[in-house]
Amino acid sequence: MTKLYPLKGKIQNYAWGGSKFIPNLLGIAVTGEKCAEYWLGAHEKAPSEVLIENEERPLNKFLKAHLIASLGQKIASKFGRLSFLFKVLDVEEMLSIQVHPTKIEAEKGFKLENEKGIPLNAANRNYKDDNHKPEIMVALGEFWLLHGFLSKDKLIATLKNIPEFTHLVPVFESQGYFGLYKKVMEQSDEENNRILQPLIDRVLPAYKAGKLEKSNPDYWAAKAVDSSSDTTILDKGIYSIYFFNIVKANKGEAVFQDAGIPHAYLEGQNMELMANSDNVLRGGLTPKHIDIPELLKHIEFKPTIPNIMQGEMQADGIERIYRSPAPDFELSQLILNTSQNYQSETKTAQILILLEGEATITEHNTTLHLQKGDSVLILANASYKISTSKNAIFYKATAPL
């Protein structure tokens, strides 16, 4: 059985995405349509296509037909499917404030909503599948995100320094992170507008004049309102902008987000690798369904110290591995010059995407010539080599063994 195949992903046209980065990566026409994500994986919502003898086949169906041969015995037995979902993201507008459930809670929530007869595509559906969704991202340039609650000292300072938030100081001091977040998320739209409108009135002129730094939460609060189609009801996600850490990741730096860590992507492009799931519980900055009681059940109400990872360069001087606690996936960056060859033996399936340059990949009797934006699927128990005549940057997704 051949172990090396061309792979074609699926573009997701979400409203927060940019219109140029992903089309330019893939070498397709820029039409102005929002191209937010490019999915490489076997998720039932948008499975990639495997090219077999000039015929495209959905990756999920291909893997089901060749599960052990594709994934190897250990991963096939442990997960019963491709355990990860690989994405390219282009974030032009802020994503929703969100959190992901644990595996146990995802199974419970998915089963309960199925029993209630809520369709999978229903707008009020919380659980799209029975899986958790830990995720790791590597910045492809300057990338901004919200990641977990500020430390207690920093959050108290924020509440004291912003006139509209001073009334929340005793709430936080007596009821902690949970009490503070619950109060602002459960307040009425009228109360929300009364508190936030003076804040927005103060910061919006400075934002429009280009006087705010992106490290300042005022910048993102103003941007959220300035880019909103409806400013009559101010978004409760604005509180999260002030309560969470604002993190800047530079090109090649990574951030891991486990279940329970509230977060939101703000701006930039990244490679994202996650467990094979689409479960998202939202908390603002979105017109999509928000279930406050369900959201509050899954957030870890504790301070988070952001860990920006540089990755671990391997002995070959080519591969940099970004390790995480997640058993579902492992993300690598490969940078080759013309004098180097990358060689690897797979224990389970891998997906590679070429971000820059060109390359040739060979496995046994199969050779593929890759251009920028091309992706490949490599099955378990393969031995392959990559070379380049123009330098190359790949990202590789697999599962750790």
User: pLDDT (tens digit, 9 = 90+) per residue, 237-278?
Assistant: 999 999 999 999 999 999 999 999 999 999 999 999 999 988
User: pLDDT (tens digit, 9 = 90+) per residue, 348-379?
Assistant: 999 999 999 999 999 999 999 999 999 999 99
Residues in the chain: 401
User: pLDDT (tens digit, 9 = 90+) per residue, 58-91?
Assistant: 999 999 999 999 999 999 999 999 999 999 999 9
Positive or negative, the CA dihedral 95, 99, 104, 105 is: negative
Strand partners, 38: 11, 88
Strand partners, 212: none
Band of the pLDDT at 394, cuts 50, 70, 90?
Answer: very high
Quote the pLDDT of residue 305: 96
Spatial CB neighbours of 358, under 8 Å, sequence gap ≥ 6: 369, 370, 371, 372, 388, 389, 390, 392
Band of the pLDDT at 162, cuts 50, 70, 90?
Answer: very high
Quote the pLDDT of residue 1: 80
Spatial CB neighbours of 41, under 8 Å, sequence gap ≥ 6: 9, 47, 48, 59, 82, 84, 85, 86, 276, 351
**Which CATH code of 2.60.120.10, 3.30.530.20, 3.40.50.1820, 2.40.440.10 fits the domain covering 312-398?**
2.60.120.10
From its phi and psi, is residue 200 left (phi > 0), alpha (psi between -120 and 50) or beta?
alpha
Residue 389 CA to residue 119 CA, distance in Å, equals: 50
CA-angle at 276, arms to 270 and 279, nearest 5°: 85
- Dmax over Cα atoms in the chain, in whole Å? 70
Band of the pLDDT at 229, cuts 50, 70, 90?
Answer: confident
Q: What is this structure's pTM?
A: 0.95
Please report, for the chain, the start and end positions of each structural domain, with discontinuous segments joined by +.
147-247, 312-398
- Contact present, 161 and 169 (Cβ < 8 Å): no
- Contact present, 134 and 260 (Cβ < 8 Å): no
Residue 273 CA to residue 328 CA, distance in Å, equals: 10
Quote the pLDDT of residue 289: 87
Burial (CB count <10 Å: 0-12, 13-18, 19+), residue 103: middle
Residue 124 CA to residue 118 CA, distance in Å, equals: 8
Q: What does the mean pLDDT of the chain come to? A: 96
Residue 117 CA to residue 111 CA, distance in Å, equals: 10
Model confidence at 233: pLDDT above 90: no
Model confidence at 285: pLDDT above 90: no
Q: Would you please indicate which residues are annotated as catalytic (active-site) residues? A: 282
Burial (CB count <10 Å: 0-12, 13-18, 19+), residue 45: middle
